[in-house]
Amino acid sequence: MKQTELERARVDQKTTKQTLSEQAMKPLRFGHLVIWPPFVAAPFAGYTDGVYREILREFGCPYCYTEMVSAKGLVMGGEATLALLEHSEHDRPLAVQLFGSEPEDISEAIRAIHQADVPFDAVDINMGCPAKKVTSQGAGGALLKDISRAEAMIQAAKSATRLPVSVKIRIGWSGGERAVEIASRLEAAGADMIAVHGRTVAQGYSGEADWGTIARVARSLNIPVVGNGDVTAPRQGLKLLGESGCSGIMVGRGILGNPFFFRSLYQTLRGSEPEPAAAGERFILAIDHLHRAAQRYGERRAMLELRKHLAFYFKGMKGASKLRTAMNGARSWSELVDTIRHASRCFGNELHM
């Protein structure tokens, strides 16, 4: 990507920290970590890989998670699973997010990570994923139906590491009436921080996030609670941060194809009107993302895995639906790049990359 935008993003982050870090908004603190501003990128399987996390960092994201990693896969030494742990030295602080159904797998997986000397700053246990292939194993959101097992998972993690252990949950399996009870038990089991998505597991991603329930959890616990769900703009996130009593905000779908969220966040914190990303900038970054992925994974894998993510860069733009169809029809990496270049010219942008 051109030097101007990436360097400006870094300058924005540095300047904002210097001018606002002592003001009213407190950092997110748990374990040895101090995260400011208290906005974190949600783990998103198939999207927030090491390549995209590096892009998020360049726009100022202060904290990330790996994609969801199978604890059993780590214990068995699966190459694909181990590859999910890879990250650059610039991708810090970083939590490794594990999922599983057996406490022993969690503790053994953490020991395997330490033995492999892969540096992380925290361990997170997923207890909210609604995907059937995960819940059918008794993992992810299914743990909210078996809180005793969920407690044992946290205790197993704490026994295997000195790193802070966080948990990502939903407000419940099919209702949020037990959300405070569940979160309180996880806190008592040793969780250092809990991120709460304001939907039930049964909802998936339908409906709206219940920030009222998130607020009740935040005000009932002594450990930090990070709220998650439907945050798409910095000003909205800041409003929810103040109203909910949460210690931080987690942004999920709002950052897909939109690392500009974090640049806008720093501009908002400085009291400036956020500058929306121009069409040309979106095209430039999409192709830059493709090039980075090709260098990391090879052209064919980059093409196959990135098509769904690239569509988010152009969401809301005129002709986005036709462009998505054209990208999905590309038969090679070079054809996919050419498709995006051609679309950019329709917006009057000549890309030189």
Same domain as 286, residue 246: no
Please check whether residue 352 lies inside any domain of the structure: no
pLDDT band at 247 (very low <50, low <70, confident <90, very high): very high
Task: With respect to residue 353, please indicate whether it lies within any of the assigned structural domains.
Answer: no
Is a pLDDT exceeding 80 seen at residue 72?
A: yes
Bridge-based pairing state of the strands 33-35 and 28-30: antiparallel
d(CA 68, CA 79): 15
Assess if residue 351 is contained within a domain: no
**Count of CA atoms in the C-beta half-sphere (13 A) of 97:** 24
Alpha carbon distance 116, 114 (integer Å)? 5
Average pLDDT value over all residues in the chain: 92
Q: At what angle do helices 333-346 and 279-297 cross, to 10 degrees?
A: 170
pLDDT value at residue 22: 39
- H or E element: which one contains 74? helix 71-76
Average pLDDT over residues 118-139: 97
Does the pLDDT at position 25 exceed 90?
no
336 and 296 both lie in a single domain: yes
Check pLDDT > 90 for residue 57: yes
What is the model's pTM? 0.92
Residue 186's nearest CA partner among 198, 159, 200, 168 is 168
- Among the candidates 246, 269, 292, a domain finishes at 269
Task: Give residue 164's pLDDT.
Answer: 98
Q: Same structural domain for residues 296 and 265?
A: no
Query: In degrees, to the nearest 5, what angle opens at C-alpha 56 toward C-alphas 52 and 61?
Result: 145
Q: What's residue 17's pLDDT?
A: 56
If asked whether residues 200 and 307 sit together in one domain, one would say no
Which pLDDT value is given to residue 74?
96
Task: State the Cα–Cα distance between residues 44 and 73, nearest whole angstrom.
Answer: 18
Supply the residues annotated as catalytic: 129
Residues 170 and 22 in one domain: yes
Please measure the distance between the N-terminal and C-terminal CA atoms of the chain and give it in whole angstroms: 8
125: containing domain:
3-269
Buried b (16+ CB within 10 A) or exposed e, 203-222: beeeeebbbebbbbbbeebe
Number of domains the chain contains: 2
Averaged pLDDT, 120-139? 97
Among residues 230, 250, 269, the one where a domain terminates is 269
- CATH number, residue 193: 3.20.20.70
* Domain-ending residue, one of 231, 251, 269: 269
| Residue 339 belongs to some domain of the structure | yes
274 lies in some domain: no
